[in-house]
Amino acid sequence: MEEPLRRHADTPTTESGGNGTAPPAPALAFPGATAGDGAGDGLHLLTGNQDISDDEFAKVCALIDQLRTIHFESRRYVERHGLAAAIFLPGSVWAEINDPDHFTNWTYDLVNYVRCASPFTGFDLMMWSRRDVPGQLDAAKVNDFYGRFISGALGYEDVAERLEVEFDLSSHIAKSIPRMTDFYDELVGRIPERYRIIAPPCAGEIGWSHHGRIINPDVILYQRRVNALYAGGALQTVEDAIAAHGSANYLEIGSGHCLFAHALAECFAGKLNVHLIDLPFVMANGVAYLACATGADRIGLVTATTTEAIDRPFVFVPNYLVPHYERHLPAFDLVHNAISFNEMTAAQVAYYYDLVERHMADDGVFHIAGGHKVLDYHVDAVAAAIDRFPNHAVYPDREIAGYLVGERPNTFIRRSLVAA
């Protein structure tokens, strides 16, 4: 049975906003459900999904075919080019998740509902809950559902109905209201409208439509990351770069399904040039998501034969091809990593810190959300960052300057500050 890629149990829920050490609050505990309280408010289910076209799907397939080759070639490439396997092959928990001899069969259904197969924050969107919190979900039942969904035994036309029958999905979402909407309103109350992220009604997004925006615990968590970037001054850095150069460069390391990168890019209305580094196996989730959300033509993929800089709004750089492509990387105004560095090895983290040092713009900022040691297999990437970069500011609390933020601590590194 095939399981979706998922992370382990250290992600705070949107409600707890914790630092990953306290058990998350149950995602189903919002009391007082209503049927929606404004124009267009209400459930957003898979029945309302904007499906990807056949033409678009064909373009995604071409990109995913390349990713499949890149994935299967990983070890051979690393050996042939004398790269350090300890840095460029998956490490830590990702060495277990990433099977070098397996690649997901990305069918139309899977691409079209990619968010349903990408629980990177630990929140199972389809079941509106988590498997890693005792008492929330029956893991065997959930795994069986994922298995039928990912293997194709469950056709995408039937997924919405089966979620109601097997997991009572609508009722669970509705029970989240009004607590979830109240929380969201507080979260964005002082955030400028342009920085309130949007999850488009495609790629299998599920949630509650609130004043025209789909919200769910993932979207809320990602908004909290944007709040941190705003409160920490990183979005102003991007604005300044756009004012100076017409556009700004953004790098995300460990980008997962890329909802965050897409949503952030939308905040800057086409003026953010996005580079994404991840494992090729996982990158398929991001390619599928971005194809649904913005179109495959806007995606560029670095391969072993790439010789020129790729000029597309979203450029994917598979992790072991970073050295091959590095000379084409621009100076980044913002580099971001969320809840990923601590799941890598110390050598991988050190490699990425050196990379960021080499490619951060003079006035650029490097933001790390979370990343400290919570679980046994984690490395303390925050301590490593503090050690590596003298010009850092670490915010340990759930608020920065009065703004509610996401994973803790939030670490901001700037080149332009004078070392203490």
Ligand X SMILES: C[S@@+](CC[C@H](N)C(=O)[O-])C[C@H]1O[C@@H](n2cnc3c(N)ncnc32)[C@H](O)[C@@H]1O
Question: Which residues contribute to the site for ligand X (CB under 6 A)?
Answer: 7, 90, 94, 120-121, 253-256, 277-279, 282, 319, 338-340, 343-344, 348
Q: Which residues, 6+ apart, have CB-to-CB distance to 354 below 8 Å?
A: none
**Closest distance of CB 226 from ligand X, Å:** 13
* Choice between 160 and 261, CB closer to ligand X: 261
* Choice between 52 and 344, CB closer to ligand X: 344
* Choice between 313 and 371, CB closer to ligand X: 371
Rounded to an integer, what is the distance from CA 329 to the centroid of its chain?
21
3-state secondary structure at position 53: coil
Contact 111, 204 (CB under 8 A): no
**Closest distance of CB 85 from ligand X, Å:** 12
Contact 33, 174 (CB under 8 A): yes
Contact 223, 338 (CB under 8 A): no
3-state secondary structure at position 389: coil
* Choice between 93 and 174, CB closer to ligand X: 93
Q: Tell me the residue type at 367.
A: H
CA distance between the termini of the chain: 54
**Closest distance of CB 340 from ligand X, Å:** 4
**Closest distance of CB 183 from ligand X, Å:** 19
* Choice between 137 and 369, CB closer to ligand X: 369
Burial of 306 (0-12, 13-18, 19+ CB in 10 A): middle
Q: Tell me the residue type at 49.
A: N
Q: Tell me the residue type at 404.
A: L
* Choice between 169 and 221, CB closer to ligand X: 221
Using the 8-state DSSP alphabet, how is residue 160 labeled? H
* Choice between 177 and 202, CB closer to ligand X: 202
* Choice between 123 and 149, CB closer to ligand X: 123
Contact 214, 207 (CB under 8 A): yes
Q: Tell me the residue type at 328.
A: H
Encoded tokens for 312: 């597309």
**Closest distance of CB 338 from ligand X, Å:** 4
Categorise residue 26: left if φ over 0, alpha if ψ from -120 to 50, beta otherwise: beta
**Closest distance of CB 79 from ligand X, Å:** 17
**Closest distance of CB 322 from ligand X, Å:** 9
Alpha helices in 253-409 (DSSP H): 259-267, 280-294, 322-325, 346-359, 381-388
**Closest distance of CB 88 from ligand X, Å:** 8
